[in-house]
Structure 1
Amino acid sequence: MGGFKRVPFERTVRKSPFELLSTHARYVTKTANKLIDAFNSFLSGEEEKFLKVKKEVETLESEADRIKGNIRNHLPKSILMPVDRTMFLMLLSEQDKIIDNIQDIIEWIYMRNRPPREEIAENVKELFNQVEKTVAAYEKAIGNLKDLIESSFSEKERNETKEAIWEVHRQESICDSLERSLTKKIFDMEDKMGAGEILHLTKLVMLLGEVANRAENAADRLRALMAR
């Protein structure tokens, strides 16, 4: 009788869950890229173009949900994973919340689809761009996970992943700084603005900051996953 042959985890499912997690992260980045398109149409007051972007974000979110469901459905408790299963699913959940927060931004813009006044438009655009950079840095970090697993957590791959995680924190810190300065600038202009405009802009800034925070949180989940 032949001995027990251990089958690698990645071959027990149709696609490696780590590969699917990276694919899901790419959808997160694609959705974040749409933020810039949304801002440009928001700034120019082109409602038809904005609605097109809004629809594209909904489509991306739906596809990301399908991938998330595929990952969860192929992680039965009986399968031995090279990382903690619960931590892996927590990472997936935190990553997915980035898309949810981006959708919240699109919906919030649509609630009062009036462009920011000229005095702060560039500041708002800068924050939009920085949020996109933070999400892109996160995708790069999560992209290292598959190589990290395949290398059996080699020191080289660990160090590269830690460096990528640090970069997410650095980009998020820039977002924090922009968020604070823009919020102060809005309140410094309160004599020129109505209550509705102030509410809309301050919450928009807060929601943008939340996307960057989610990316940082997901990066921290990745770091915890590495600790095993």
Structure 2
Amino acid sequence: MPINPFVSLFGRSPIGPMQQHIAKAHECAANLVPFFDAVMAENWAEVEQVQQEMVRLEKEADKLKKSVRLHLPKSLFLPVPRSDLLELLSVQDKIANRAKDIAGLMLGRCMTIPPGLQALMRPYVQRTVDASAQALKAMKELDSLLETGFAGREATLVETMIMELDDIEEDTDRLQIDVRRQLFKLEKELPPIDVMFLYQIIEWIGDVADRAQRVGNRLEQLLAR
């Protein structure tokens, strides 16, 4: 397998730290599943515990982001444009940010999920986390992509992963429609202010999947160069 000479000369940094960053961002997003389980069980001690864990993970992701920005070489010998890596890093970071936003708002308002909505909400949240997991899976291949010059079997593998990520995000779009329709049916039974915030949370859950998909889009742009 041909090795990109720039990788041999300058090493894999900052790719390793970027992979650590998205792993931390995904870990934060993945906590949405136990968070919503606790919310639906109205176990508020557990809700708060998971929310605090998400805050911790988002802060760790933020520290990694700042470290990558500070240490990202400004040399012309980077195997990909520095601006592309910085944009990719920013997109990754937004996964953790939105997950933290969801938990913070729901805990702050002691939001509950109506029983008639719970059966649809759980798979919606899980599929959103699946999108984040798939973005992480694709990003784990970035160093190998650099080694092969964004070509060959490795490029084909990542392209397939990105297509799978697109499919997962489309699933979340369909699930979001189902959740919204069900909430619409329940609106008259719920306080209007609760309905308003539930719609906000439903949208934000979808944002997590959208942001994961954008990671795939950025990788796809690197492949196209």
CA distance in 1: counterparts of 2:101 and 2:160, whole angstroms: 30
Partner of residue 140 from structure 1, selected from 137, 140, 146: 137
CA distance in 2: counterparts of 1:48 and 1:194, whole angstroms: 24
Partner of residue 176 from structure 2, selected from 167, 179, 182: 179
CA distance in 1: counterparts of 2:111 and 2:94, whole angstroms: 26
Q: For each residue in 1:189-222, what CA deviation from the matched residue of structure 2 results, as whole angstroms up to 9, or x when unmatched?
A: 2221120221121111000001111111121011
| Residue 186 (structure 2) aligns with | 189
Partner of residue 103 from structure 2, selected from 93, 101, 106: 106
Tell me the TM-score normalised to structure 1 length. 0.91
CA distance in 2: counterparts of 1:81 and 1:73, whole angstroms: 15
Contact 2:6 / 2:77 at 8 angstroms: preserved in 1? Answer: no
**2:196 alignment partner AA:** L
CA distance in 2: counterparts of 1:203 and 1:99, whole angstroms: 17
> Identity rate of aligned residues, in percent?
27
Offset at residue 111 of structure 1 (A): 2.9
Tell me the TM-score normalised to structure 2 length. 0.92
| Residue 123 (structure 1) aligns with | 120
SS at match of 2:188: coil
CA distance in 2: counterparts of 1:10 and 1:35, whole angstroms: 39
Q: Which moved more, 1:92-101 or 1:20-29?
A: 20-29
Partner of residue 209 from structure 2, selected from 204, 208, 212: 212
Q: Which moved more, 1:66-75 or 1:98-107?
A: 66-75
| Residue 61 (structure 2) aligns with | 64
CA distance in 1: counterparts of 2:166 and 2:98, whole angstroms: 18
**1:218 alignment partner AA:** V
Offset at residue 138 of structure 1 (A): 0.8
Gaps of 5+ in 2: none
Gaps of 5+ in 1: 1-6
Contact 1:31 / 1:60 at 8 angstroms: preserved in 2? Answer: yes
Contact 1:45 / 1:114 at 8 angstroms: preserved in 2? Answer: no
**1:32 alignment partner AA:** A
| Residue 97 (structure 1) aligns with | 94
CA distance in 2: counterparts of 1:221 and 1:152, whole angstroms: 16
> 1:76/1:16 Cα in 2 relative to 1: closer, same or farther (>3 Å)?
closer
Offset at residue 112 of structure 1 (A): 2.3
Larger-gyration structure (1/2): 1
Contact 1:25 / 1:139 at 8 angstroms: preserved in 2? Answer: yes
Partner of residue 80 from structure 2, selected from 80, 83, 88: 83
| Residue 4 (structure 1) aligns with | none
